[in-house]
């Protein structure tokens, strides 16, 4: 068939315009993603640095025209600075000394040994993640208060001790380390257990054949192989403890024990006088620098873990060790941890919520049990507003974080070759919030939105933006890992069939990422509902959320009401996680059944016959619509 010049003139420009339009959509999306991530992450941090070198006597940082290092001089010359740094160091070291060894031991027992009821114990270990840190601190206050704590009362009676205080005091650095250490265990267990699960047991078998016992094999073979994962976990949780605010804020308030995170808060919420934003900025910058250094080392360690890989293409068969007579003591140890870390705090929280005022367990207090607090709490308009704001905040933050994380992941994974430098920049900046403590992000957002003419300061949206920034690192890393498992030929074939890039992303890419997206949604929603430090820095009476309401109730002596709200918040978190697990299981079954086979056949057709790829892609996209 002869093609006339008129035909060429009519069709070629249209085809070129179509290609340009598709490239333009991707380029615009890439540019907007770069601008959004840079604005959310870098602008607040730059404003924090700017505020730290401005004189802030009776004025805000950006109202001053004087550039000075007096804020840093005040930090390092103040008599209170050294105790704050020492308290932070002790709190960090003590929390890690309790949490990490316990997590390593539990991970080893549940992943490398054949103790009874492993699945049940593993699930129960994760239950504390549904209880906010603030509520854990409240529960342990009721248990270990020097005078009225249940454990102290029982011990004084059992040991015949005189006096009405002791033997334990939760309002101390030791108490703070104990509670924070227990809070670290579930997250540290998840991080470490995966490495134990993946390790080749043949190395341990060879050690056993050489006559080494279980203890020697673990110390000389297992733990050295696990060294990169353990060091990475150590560095990561140092940052987590340094940024922790809930537990030191609640337990340290009574004893006037301040660490870096609480010092930043009290500098901006002074009990006497005006807020000292310059001092808070200088402290925040110091914390930020330390966290950046730690996370840089974390990145270096995780980047070279392949040198310690033990899963190969030969003879890998995961098995558990037999503990013999030690199986029963090991099981008892796991059950004891669950009793202390899960059962006791939650039962104490429930007990406090059904008492008109806190009282230890007795026949008299049993007679005062009532669910009246659960009815009265709904009569307060501020509580209803807090619950509504919390749900809106969790939903908005989750959706915004997912959309931004998917875009970041797509451009980092799919466009790395075309825009290598920009893709690397995007990956680095999107991970940066992992290094920034929540209270520092809250402080930085105050400076940005009080200074810039964006009318969101004092609204719920500024809290949502701050949380989106804070949770972007985890979300983008999760979706990036999932996207790396999806071959790009599915998206390429869809676009060859004429589907726009946005439709391909919506109809092909995101359905394949559905399990990861659901996990990110659940993680972000639960953390947004429990977040305290950022909300405390940015809320007002109209934007109060449940976590700040619990904090205020506790500060005002409304213990029972705080416990009631805590039970409701824990129930919402648990309900969300269970519902998400059911939904995620259904999605995984969908992707592992007929839908997976359909996508697999589509990919095979594309790879075997490129000329048929357009027709196959068109059928694939249409079937997805149906």
Q: Indicate the pLDDT class of residue 5, thresholds 50, 70 and 90.
A: very low
Is-contact 554 347, C-beta < 8 A?
Answer: no
Helix axes 438-451, 5-52, angle to 10 degrees: 100
Q: Taking residues 264-278, what's their average pLDDT?
A: 79
Q: What DSSP character marks residue 146? A: T
CB 205 within 8 A of CB 112: no
pLDDT of the residue at 288: 86
Beta-bridge partner residues of 67: 54
Measure the CA–CA gap between 622 and 42, rounded to whole angstroms.
Answer: 41
- Alpha carbon distance 143, 170 (integer Å): 9
What one-character DSSP code corresponds to residue 222? I
Bridge partner residues of 54 (DSSP)? 67
Distance between start and end Cα atoms, the chain: 38
Q: What burial letters (b/e) apply to 225-242, b meaning 16+ CB within 10 Å?
A: bbebbbebbbbbbbbbbb
Nearest in space to 286 (alpha carbons), one of 142, 31, 124, 74: 74
* Per-residue pLDDT reduced to its tens digit, 24-64: 677 888 889 899 999 999 988 888 888 888 876 666 666 66
Which band of pLDDT confidence, cut at 50, 70 and 90, is reported for residue 191? confident
pLDDT of residue 359: 74
State if pTM tops 0.75. Answer: yes
Quick check: 330 and 214 in contact, CB under 8 A?
no
Cβ contacts of 509 within 8 Å, gap of 6 or more: 406, 410, 483, 486, 491
Does the domain at 80-309+340-349 match CATH 1.10.3720.10? Answer given as yes
* pLDDT tens, position by position, 100-134: 999 989 988 888 787 888 888 888 888 888 888 88
What's residue 626's pLDDT?
Answer: 46
Rg (CA), the chain: 28
The domain ranges of the chain are 80-309+340-349
pLDDT confidence bin for 91, thresholds 50/70/90: very high
How far, in Å, CA of 119 to CA of 102, rounded?
A: 18
- 143-147, 217-221, 416-420, range with the lowest pLDDT: 416-420
CA atoms of 34 and 486, how far apart (whole Å):
23
**Does an H or E element contain 480, and which?**
helix 460-483
Chain length of the chain: 626
- Rounded Cα distance, 587 and 596, in Å: 11
What integer is the mean pLDDT of 532-543?
A: 89
């Amino acid at each position: 068939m002869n093609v006339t010049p008129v035909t060429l003139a009519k069709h070629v420009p249209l085809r070129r315009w179509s290609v340009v339009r598709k490239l333009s959509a991707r380029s615009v999306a890439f540019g907007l993603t770069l601008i959004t991530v840079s604005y959310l992450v870098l602008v607040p941090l730059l404003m924090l640095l700017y505020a730290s070198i401005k004189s802030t006597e009776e004025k805000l940082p950006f109202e001053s025209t004087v550039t000075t290092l007096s804020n840093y001089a005040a930090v390092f010359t103040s008599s209170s600075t050294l105790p704050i740094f020492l308290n932070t160091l002790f709190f960090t070291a003590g929390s890690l000394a309790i949490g990490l060894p316990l997590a390593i031991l539990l991970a080893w027992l549940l992943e490398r040994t054949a103790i009874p009821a492993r699945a049940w114990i593993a699930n129960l270990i994760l239950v504390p993640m549904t209880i906010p840190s603030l509520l854990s601190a409240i529960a342990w206050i009721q248990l270990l208060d020097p005078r009225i704590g249940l454990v102290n009362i029982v011990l004084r009676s059992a040991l015949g001790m005189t006096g009405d205080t002791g033997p334990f005091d939760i309002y101390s650095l030791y108490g703070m380390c104990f509670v924070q250490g227990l809070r670290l265990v579930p997250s540290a267990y998840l991080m470490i257990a995966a490495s134990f699960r993946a390790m080749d047991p043949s190395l341990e078998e060879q050690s056993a054949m050489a006559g080494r016992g279980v203890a020697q094999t673990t110390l000389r073979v297992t733990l050295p192989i696990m060294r990169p994962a353990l060091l990475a976990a150590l560095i990561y949780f140092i940052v987590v403890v340094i940024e922790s605010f809930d537990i030191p804020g609640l337990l340290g308030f009574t004893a006037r024990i301040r660490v870096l995170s609480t010092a930043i808060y009290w500098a901006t919420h002074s009990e006497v006088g005006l807020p000292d934003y310059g001092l808070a900025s200088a402290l925040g910058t110091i914390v930020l620098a330390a966290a950046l250094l730690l996370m840089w080392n974390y990145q270096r360690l995780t980047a070279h873990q392949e040198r310690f890989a033990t899963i190969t293409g030969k003879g890998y068969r995961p098995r558990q060790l037999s503990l013999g007579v030690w199986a029963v003591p090991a099981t008892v140890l796991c059950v004891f941890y669950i009793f202390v870390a899960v059962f006791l705090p939650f039962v104490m929280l429930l007990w406090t919520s059904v008492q008109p005022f806190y009282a230890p367990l007795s026949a008299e207090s049993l007679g005062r049990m009532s669910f009246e607090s659960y009815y009265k709490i709904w009569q307060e308009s501020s509580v209803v507003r807090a619950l509504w704001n919390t749900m809106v905040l969790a939903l908005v933050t989750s959706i915004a974080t997912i959309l931004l994380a998917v875009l970041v992941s797509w451009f980092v994974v799919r466009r790395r070759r075309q825009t290598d430098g920009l893709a690397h920049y995007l990956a680095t900046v999107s991970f940066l919030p992992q290094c920034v403590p929540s209270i520092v992000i809250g402080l930085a957002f105050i400076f940005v939105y009080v200074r810039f003419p964006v009318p969101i300061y004092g609204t719920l949206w500024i809290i949502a933006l701050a949380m989106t920034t804070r949770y972007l690192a985890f979300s983008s890393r999760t979706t990036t890992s999932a996207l790396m498992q999806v071959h790009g030929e599915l998206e390429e074939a869809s676009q060859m069939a004429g589907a726009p890039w946005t439709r391909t992303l919506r109809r092909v890419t995101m359905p394949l990422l559905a399990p990861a997206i659901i996990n990110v949604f659940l993680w972000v929603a639960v953390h947004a509902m429990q977040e305290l430090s950022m909300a405390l820095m940015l809320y007002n009476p109209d934007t109060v959320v449940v976590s700040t309401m619990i904090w205020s109730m506790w500060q005002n002596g409304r213990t029972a009401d705080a416990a009631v709200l805590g039970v409701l918040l824990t129930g919402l978190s648990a309900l969300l996680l269970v519902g998400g697990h059911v939904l995620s299981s259904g999605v995984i079954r969908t992707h592992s059944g007929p839908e997976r086979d359909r996508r697999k056949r589509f990919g095979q057709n594309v790879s075997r016959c490129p000329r048929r790829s357009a027709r196959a892609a068109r059928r694939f996209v249409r079937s997805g619509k149906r």
